[in-house]
Structure formats: structure tokens, C-alpha cells
Amino acid sequence: MKRAVVVFSGGQDSTTCLAQALQQYDEVHCVTFDYGQRHRAEIDVARELALKLGPVAHKVLDVTLLNELAVSSLTRDSIPVPDYEPDASGIPNTFVPGRNILFLT
């Protein structure tokens, strides 16, 4: 039996990966990460798409600790989301450092 795990945000890239995995694997699991993102709709959309697209086991994992480790306007209501203007380092305040590497470990 071939199995796959899809890191699933519900966005177009991960939805495409899920659709492909459902065609190529016998058993598919989705993992969505709740890292304290301000746009909670992301998690709701991921849940809905996982249900609609096929027989998948879908788990939402709480990694809100990331909010304590990284300062970002995506995870903290106290920081406004600006029009795109990088700070002096060239990194926008919407960047969540280490987010993707945490998801993959």
C-alpha cells in the first residue's frame, strides 16, 4: 500500500499536491498547521477542501508556540499588516521565520 502525507494549507499549491496525491497513492493524510495565523479562514478552507477532495485523514496541529518565537504581523494582532514596504533588512513584517522548516520537521 502506497501512502502519502500532504502539508496542507488549503491554498492552490497544496490543493494541487493533494489532488495529485489522491490519484497516485492508496492512502493520503493531510496535516494543517495552526501557527496562530490571523486569517483563521485558512484552516476552515483546508478542512472543507480535505472533505470535498476525497477520502483523506486530516489533522490540524497546534503549533501556536511559533507565535511566541517569531514576531510577525501574520501572527500578532498588535502589528499592522502594511502595504508592501520591506524594513531595513529587506524582510517584510509578514514573514514568519522558520515556519516552513517547522512544518517539514
d(CA 12, CA 45): 11
- CATH value at residue 13: 3.40.50.620
Q: What is the mean pLDDT of each run of 10 residues along the chain (105 residues)?
A: 94 93 96 80 92 92 73 62 61 60 67
Helices marked H in 25-90:
41-53, 65-69
Q: What is the pLDDT of residue 66?
A: 64
- E strand spans, 1-105: 3-7, 27-34, 56-62
**In terms of residue numbers, what domain contains 47?**
3-104
- Per-residue buried b or exposed e for 66-95, using 16+ beta carbons within 10 Å of the residue's own CB: bbeebebbbbeeeeeeeeeeeeeeeebbeb
Q: Is the pTM of this model over 0.85?
A: no
Q: What is the pLDDT of residue 36?
A: 75
Structural domain count, the chain:
1
